[in-house]
Structure 1
């Protein structure tokens, strides 16, 4: 069912005019040096909703200078004072939660249900790191020889470049800004050009919360590669935190190597969802709907490959298709809508081509499988069965509402199929046998495992992957340590 809504121009104006649409550098909103701007488009309607300044290389370097100038003052702010500012930012986000959620729907397309969940999750990073800001704890010990003390302390790593994707425009920003500010760093946020408005809104909230000028700078840009590369070449920049594709991550790591910039990389995923023969199928289908359909499948943590024991595969597929078929698709601002459009036409074409290739290789469609026509970048919830283990749809992120199902017969086969990828971000395992679940989980080559759970993300937990899914961790205490350097002092007393 595709639900369409009329464009709400008055509400759009309300949602997009309480924050600047220019670059935020040194606490000021300014046009780009070359005057270039770009349009932000609603994926559900194809209509322009705002025009945003586009940063040039000189703007990026100006943002680095602003962050560099603000660094000594911010790093010297008492931990409790930093904590109070972050706590205030959390409270302001909660106060504006509905406005932020609707803004995300406008520029990203996700359903309002998903957007509300994202805002709550995003705000929680400010609350979590307001509590962590006062816990940057070092250590003192006696050296093994007994001749001196070993004193270890943690210092802000310095000016940090944060590059965020379009799929979670609020949460990916706060997940990086929160720990960076708690550690005493200043930042330049380069949001995805598909979804810059949420980042600019968060910058305004941080300003209202009391973040000093220059501590948080935001530079949307249509020249992302050149701007980020120039910033990484600036000796003042000491940290890069990137969330995005593995392909772009490799390029950024190469760029960062020129000045040996410390890098945290949250890259691609290809999450397997394993359902064993003893699994509670009601729970497994509920978990599959969360793991697959959170954010419409446009998430690095989305279940990408479903491996189901042959004894329950037909029943699992039938139940999943039934649930997927019942989802209400349409403009995300509708209260009844459960699935919005994909981010752009390129995304829709990619999903369509992957499904077509799977069908050509012998897969059968239980539901969906045909792209919607008309306005908006919609793709129907789709379940595929009889998918060949060598099908291309199993080799890359689908980033859409498509669930391909492959059967297996033994635990060893399930683990082998799950690990048959260069990625290693997250896995999902469903079984009623806790011993089996933990044993299989330990054999999976992923940084996170959802055992009888369809979601793993939590601000208090270390988020990150193995293999080519990234470097470092976000969230938890580890997330703050990513923005620090450890200093060791050998001393006698």
Structure 2
């Protein structure tokens, strides 16, 4: 191991040990503060100015082999062009350079690779205020969410993947002496060696809404296990991954490795390159977050690669009975409003019996429950400054158009409206659209409607709600399932439903925890057990397919 890599591992060894402990105990833990006050004041206050210094000019990496051209047409959802351009490497030259760099990275060993990954994460954490600016103005996330989800929470997920990789690799000994007794004869003795061997080049195809959070797990899991990584950002959200790639390249070079082990391949909406990259025979691993159509295409066509895909789904909430409807409605109002419903965990389908529900204050009709939900969202967003701080901006104009298209799918309980952002007058800000539909209108609620669009669905009973959720999730998948009941027997049926459709269950949340939030080191994000995702962030199966163990053996002498 290089001296520099050893120093990196030593510097972060305590963090690594604590991360491995955290994925075992599953309690709360994070080494990366989510409170801005924990970061140097200059780093926080100077972030907007440093972001502006990146605009309207080329972005440079440490190394970009064989440049084919420049791309870059990012437009902030808050209403201005970034004007940043990026080198686009020539594919064949890049693949050749990454293949040439792989043997040294492979042979460096797990300790060196993990040390480098830990140093990359530490440096990314230190620049979280800067990353927040880039995430905000590419994804449309509001400032605090861009900082937390784009910075420390994304880094948590990356570290979680490194911890699983380290745990898996460290369980394989470098050598072993095999001695088999032979009775009166001398024992059979073999000296064995075991090698962690990476699969090949890893391609990470990133999304526009969570460019770092959904990228870091695949990036770090592949890098730690010895695989070079191509980062292919969404054309609308290149900057956060360009900043990430530059940090990774700087650390790799300092540790004595080829910087191109992490490379950026940006493209444009007019000339996409993801399919071309995905079909390259050298690409053996693909991480993808995005539409079901492209995720399915990757799985069906990139047969030479192991594809880890997070796709679309119908996240659901079932309401059977509640103690306090006001608290439940307030909790769901935040869930439906946060980042304008552009989270892969946001609830779309809310099942309520048409005969109403029981509460601690007595029975309430379906219409009263639906009205309470609509009123809670409206009240929560009544203060425009608070609304903008929660909603953020719609990343794509297509999402705003989708709101208009969906108005006719049901009876409008709460209409979506544009909001004026005090700091960014051109921001694309829209409040949620809440629709009332009958259970028979599955064409409306049974398809993902990405964005701030949700349905309150009138069912025949809680049994009917469970049946519908089972069918819809079984067909389309889901990443979150919420449920409310005051009946222990019904709660167990919800638990059974969650197991059967392989979706994490959040039961009776009515306080400061929300169904669309996911905590690294404790919550498994997706399960890999339904059509919404074929992998989980993170577990052992997310990491172990990224390497194989190759052994050699020869005659030895007994000790």
TM-score, shorter chain, exceeding 0.5? yes
Residue of structure 1 equivalent to 2:167: 135
Alpha carbons of structure 1 residues 31 and 43: separation in structure 2 relative to 1, 3 Å: farther
Asked whether 1:52 is paired with 2:85, we answer yes
Residue of structure 2 equivalent to 1:249: 295
Where in structure 2 are there 5+ consecutive unaligned residues?
1-45, 174-180, 183-187, 358-363, 510-514
Q: How far apart, CA to CA, are the structure 1 residues paired with 2:383 and 2:543?
A: 39
- Residue 161 of structure 1 aligns to a residue whose secondary structure is strand
Asked whether 1:97 is paired with 2:128, we answer yes
Alpha carbons of structure 1 residues 177 and 425: separation in structure 2 relative to 1, 3 Å: same
Asked whether 1:66 is paired with 2:97, we answer yes
Alpha carbons of structure 1 residues 153 and 69: separation in structure 2 relative to 1, 3 Å: closer
Instruction: Quote the offset at 1:380 in angstroms.
Output: 1.7
Q: Deviations over 1:344-383 (max 9, x none)?
A: 21111012211x2224xxx132x33345698443322233
Alpha carbons of structure 1 residues 394 and 169: separation in structure 2 relative to 1, 3 Å: same
Of the candidates 171, 178, 201, which is equivalent to residue 213 of structure 2? 171
- Residue 160 of structure 2 aligns to a residue whose secondary structure is helix
Q: Does the 8 Å CA contact 1:279/1:430 hold for their aligned counterparts? A: no
Q: Which has the larger radius of gyration?
A: 2
Q: Deviations over 1:22-46 (max 9, x none)?
A: 585xx4147951x34232101121x
Asked whether 1:81 is paired with 2:143, we answer no
Residue of structure 1 equivalent to 2:503: 448
Instruction: Quote the offset at 1:320 in angstroms.
Output: 2.8
- Residue 369 of structure 1 aligns to a residue whose secondary structure is coil
TM-score by length of structure 1 reads 0.82
Residue of structure 2 equivalent to 1:437: 491
Q: Does the 8 Å CA contact 1:321/1:382 hold for their aligned counterparts? A: no
Residue of structure 2 equivalent to 1:379: 430
Residue of structure 2 equivalent to 1:186: 228
Q: How far apart, CA to CA, are the structure 1 residues paired with 2:533 and 2:162?
A: 26
Q: Does the 8 Å CA contact 2:118/2:159 hold for their aligned counterparts? A: yes
Residue of structure 2 equivalent to 1:7: none
Instruction: Quote the offset at 1:297 in angstroms.
Output: 0.7
Q: Deviations over 1:44-77 (max 9, x none)?
A: 21x211232373xx72333322322222122222
CA RMSD in angstroms, aligned pairs only: 3.6
Q: Does the 8 Å CA contact 1:462/1:479 hold for their aligned counterparts? A: no
Residue of structure 2 equivalent to 1:14: 50
Instruction: Quote the offset at 1:173 in angstroms.
Output: 1.4
Q: How far apart, CA to CA, are the structure 2 residues paired with 1:154 and 1:317?
A: 55
Q: How far apart, CA to CA, are the structure 2 residues paired with 1:157 and 1:279?
A: 52
Where in structure 1 are there 5+ consecutive unaligned residues?
1-9, 141-145
Q: Does the 8 Å CA contact 2:502/2:529 hold for their aligned counterparts? A: yes
Q: How far apart, CA to CA, are the structure 2 residues paired with 1:224 and 1:485?
A: 38
The alignment covers a number of residue pairs equal to 466
**What are the within-5 Å matches in structure 2 for residues 11-410 of structure 1?**
14-15=50-51, 17=53, 21-22=58-59, 27-29=62-64, 32-33=67-68, 35-45=69-79, 47-53=80-86, 55=88, 59-118=90-149, 119-137=151-169, 138=171, 155-210=197-252, 212=257, 213-222=259-268, 227-257=273-303, 260-278=304-322, 280-282=324-326, 284-309=328-353, 310-311=356-357, 312=364, 313-328=366-381, 337-354=389-406, 356-359=407-410, 363-365=411-413, 367-371=414-418, 375-387=426-438, 389-390=440-441, 392-410=443-461
Q: How far apart, CA to CA, are the structure 2 residues paired with 1:217 and 1:298?
A: 28
Alpha carbons of structure 1 residues 72 and 439: separation in structure 2 relative to 1, 3 Å: farther
TM-score by length of structure 2 reads 0.73
Instruction: Quote the offset at 1:98 in angstroms.
Output: 1.9
Instruction: Quote the offset at 1:287 in angstroms.
Output: 4.1
Q: Which is further off, 450-459 or 97-106?
A: 450-459
Instruction: Quote the offset at 1:330 in angstroms.
Output: 11
Instruction: Quote the offset at 1:21 in angstroms.
Output: 4.6
